[in-house]
Amino acid sequence: MSRFALGCFRTTARPAGDETLFGLPAAPRRLATTTGSFTQALRRHTGHPVVVRRLDEGWRGHVAGRWPVPRVTRVWQRRVRLESGDARVEALTEVVGPLTPRLHRAITGLADTPLMAVLARQPHCRRLSFRVHRHGRQIERQTVYRIHLARVRVTEWFDIEQH
């Protein structure tokens, strides 16, 4: 677990936008603002094991949006559903930029493994941004990491009422 502190999770600053969670009960607010492994936080939150169900995975055309990406033509995307007890969380991972062969094998070979299992083993991983917003009953978390020159954007959505 110490590799998390040394790699992607060096800083533990609160996410930008967490003021939108004002008025939520403490448990969903804690889950939404966790700075470490979201899968482990969900397991602690529900008290049940987390099952990662892969919904879609593969290479897509360039999809940059407003996040910092190097100039590339392809994006690797993986959509999963995290299930733990009654909780359901949708998550989308997008990877762009030049991937080292080791990172390419790790990212494209995730199957049903949580993403943080890969990020924790990356010695040159840095979190660039972490935002969380509430949209009615939905909470959206978005985190961007840099591993060498590659960018990894992870977006999670969940319904407050389920938690």
Half-sphere exposure of 30 (CA within 13 A, CB side): 11
Positive/negative CA dihedral, 100, 113, 119, 141: positive
- Residue 119 has which token pair? 């990020």
Using alpha carbons, list the distances in angstroms from residue 40 to 37, 46, 48, 117: 5, 10, 10, 11
Give the span between the Cα atoms of 156 and 5, in whole angstroms: 21
Domains and CATH numbers, the chain: 2-162 (3.40.1410.10)
The pLDDT tens digits for 70-114 are 555 678 888 999 999 999 999 998 888 777 788 888 887 777 777
* Per-residue confidence band for 5, with pLDDT thresholds at 50, 70 and 90: very low
- Residue 111 has which token pair? 């199957």
Looking at the predicted structure, is the pLDDT value of residue 1 above 50?
A: no
Which pTM was predicted? 0.80
The pLDDT tens digits for 6-36 are 456 555 566 777 777 888 888 888 888 888 7
Looking at residue 2, its pLDDT comes to 39
Looking at the predicted structure, is the pLDDT value of residue 138 above 70?
A: yes
